[in-house]
Amino acid sequence: IGFDAAQMGGDGQYALYIPARGAAGNLEATPTAPDAQTRIDTTAPNAPAIAALPQFTAGSAIALSWSNQSASGASDYLAEMSTSMDFAAISAQSNWIASTSYSFNGLDDGTTYFFRVKSRDAALNESAPAATQNTTLDDTPPASAAAPLAAVTTTLSFPIAWTGTDATSGVASVDLYYARNGGAYTLYPGGPYAASPVSFDASTTGGEGSYAFYTRARDLVSNREPAPAGPDATTEVNTAP
């Protein structure tokens, strides 16, 4: 017997029985309980909303999270990742999970990844994918250097120019380090410095002497350049006429 719930009110809980009729036209009595029951559910749950991702993400992993759609009937979710906006190829996926978060690990530095999530209910009705989010991984520190200085500087205050490069998110700032007369390097106060040059005042660092300098850059996701093996620039500060 073909049953069309669309003619009976659509989705819902249905109880069914079939009364038999004999050859003489006698109709079976109505049973006290249904012969069969079923729930018809053809309505998908709502699509989840993915939490916003930054333009750049430090490291090599993405912790993706999304809104809970259990109120609309969702029981589990599928998160997918691709390197193409149209998801022509799926790079990784979560499989169907009950959680509203999932971590994608082992991602490539400098690569932009796109993410989408959909939900489904107990009847396996699937929602449309959520609006996509994307971010670019940045797992490499920037590089910077203080510009060369004159062999002798005759003023206590002088500018120290610097340059910096970063392959992905960009250089945000540098810290300036100095050493005087062969001593240990010390962080020069006032940083980090977002613009070049840095105004250096030797009257606050011990006065005249032999100075060495280097810079350490940070990028926009806080990857930090390691200290160099040697100074970027050196000068002898001597104000004597």
At 165-221, the pLDDT tens digits run 999 999 999 999 999 999 999 999 999 999 999 999 999 999 999 999 999 999 999
- Give pTM, 2 decimals: 0.79
How does pLDDT run across 74-118, given as a tens digit for each residue? 999 999 999 999 999 999 999 999 999 999 999 999 999 999 999
Q: Measure the CA–CA gap between 200 and 59, rounded to whole angstroms.
A: 34
CA distances from 145 to 91, 171, 179 (A): 38, 12, 15
